[in-house]
Amino acid sequence: MAVNLAVLVVFAIWAYTNGDTHNIYRATDNSRNICGMKKTPTEEFPYAYFYNPTTGNLKNRICVKECPSYNNGTLSPLNCFTNPARSNCTYSAVIAQNGSFSSNFSSSDFIGYGSHQVINRVCIPEV
């Protein structure tokens, strides 16, 4: 029992000195980059954006600087962290403010929609 407790204390000290508890609650992109992590290329991109929520696949996400929103009926463009899995942030289709859309979506499409941030980490669709 004393050995188990000693090992637990050693692991706790190591985790505290080498870990970053801020990363526990941060979102990641589809390449497992941590959005907004300090001293990494994603530091400037703190929010996760689900680029095709119509598939139900929550792995379809990227790190973005800010959540897209509508301004005078126009959806703001995205400024995203590009990676090998997603080389650009150009919308293939846009869901209008009233919920209508003009085309069918495929599972690989990059869909734009108005959103707002939740817990200062994730962009979720406006209702």
pLDDT truncated to tens, each residue of the chain (127 aa)?
A: 888 888 888 878 887 787 666 666 788 888 888 999 888 899 999 999 988 887 788 888 899 999 999 988 889 988 899 877 667 788 888 888 887 876 677 767 788 899 999 988 899 888 6
Terminal Cα distance for the chain, rounded: 54
Q: Where are the domains of the chain?
A: 26-125
pTM: 0.77
Q: Return phi, psi of residue 31, to 5°.
A: -105, 15
Quote the tokens at residue 14: 């190591």
In whole angstroms, how far apart are CA 24 and each of 18, 21, 56, 117?
A: 14, 6, 23, 18
Quote the tokens at residue 99: 């919920």
